[in-house]
């Protein structure tokens, strides 16, 4: 199924730069190391990842993965090709109760 309200998807730059691509994040710096090793993507060129996620959420199938106290959870998987490298990416999303747009929660290389 296509993602509900995908055209309104919100991707906070801070989520990408300060979390997914941060090589100094206390608990998740490994995500950044894998992005760099697999695709050559770092916090310096995070817009490559942001654009890929923004496109994928519009055209790839979304999978409902349950709900928590804040809202409904979904994942969107896609293949990202950058500079002759390719990797499977998983993006995790939430649609908060009372809102009508998805917010990016996390993303990582899914291999």
Q: What is the pLDDT of residues 19-78, one digit of tens each?
A: 999 999 898 899 999 999 999 999 999 999 999 999 999 999 999 999 999 999 999 999
What pLDDT is attached to residue 111?
73
What pLDDT is attached to residue 73?
97
* Nearest C-alpha neighbor of 46 from the set 63, 76, 26, 23: 23
Q: How many CB atoms lie within 10 A of CB 43?
A: 19
CB contact at 8 A, 20 and 10: no
Q: Distance between alpha carbon 25 and the CA centroid of its chain, in Å?
A: 16
Domains of the chain by start residue, with CATH: 6-109 (3.30.2310)
Burial of 20 (0-12, 13-18, 19+ CB in 10 A): buried
**Binning pLDDT at 50, 70 and 90, where does residue 7 land?**
very high
């Amino acid at each position: 199924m296509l993602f509900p309200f995908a055209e309104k998807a919100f991707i906070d730059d801070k989520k990408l730069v300060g979390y997914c691509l941060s090589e100094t994040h206390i608990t998740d710096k490994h995500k950044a190391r894998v992005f760099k090793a697999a695709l050559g993507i770092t916090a310096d060129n995070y817009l490559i990842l942001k654009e890929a996620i923004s496109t994928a959420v519009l055209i790839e199938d979304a999978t409902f993965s349950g709900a928590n106290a804040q809202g409904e959870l979904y994942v969107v998987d896609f293949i990202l090709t950058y500079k002759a490298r390719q990797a499977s990416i998983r993006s995790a999303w939430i649609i908060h109760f009372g809102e009508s747009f998805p917010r990016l929660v996390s993303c990582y290389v899914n291999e």
